[in-house]
Amino acid sequence: MDQAEIDEALDEMEQDALLRTEPGHMITSLHADEIVSFHEKHAGYLRTHPKVNPAHYLSNLRTMIKIRV
């Protein structure tokens, strides 16, 4: 799975009303944190952890953020 496919999958998740994709916090230094989009947060994680299988990560992420009714 290449970066374009990862970006496409994350974009689709953000547009799905049945998934919780709120922006999150990312600690950038000892005393500061910034708000980053759902897409940036998870794409960044996959970039910094190259041994993680992106297909499995995205599948598990989709399951964890699904809104249960």
Tell me: the pLDDT tens digits for 14-30? 999 999 998 887 766 56
Query: Which residue range forms the structural domain that includes residue 9?
Result: 3-64
Flag whether pLDDT at 46 surpasses 70: yes
Q: Has residue 69 been placed in a domain?
A: no
d(CA 48, CA 57): 13
Instruction: Write the CB contacts of 18 (distance below 8 Å, at least 6 apart in sequence).
Output: 66, 67
pLDDT surpassing 90 at residue 35: no
Q: Decide if 59 is inside a domain.
A: yes
How many CA atoms, within 13 angstroms, populate the side-chain half-sphere of residue 57? 18
Cα–Cα distance measured from residue 67 to residue 1, given in angstroms and rounded to the nearest whole number: 26
Write out the two tokens for 27: 């600690």
Amino acid at 57: Y
Q: What is the total count of domains within the chain?
A: 1
Whether residue 64 has pLDDT greater than 70: yes
Q: Is the Cβ–Cβ distance between 59 and 47 less than 8 Å?
A: no
> For position 67, what pLDDT does the model report?
87
Residue 54 domain flag: yes
- Residue 47 pLDDT class (50, 70, 90 cuts): very high
Residue 53 falls within a domain, yes or no?
yes
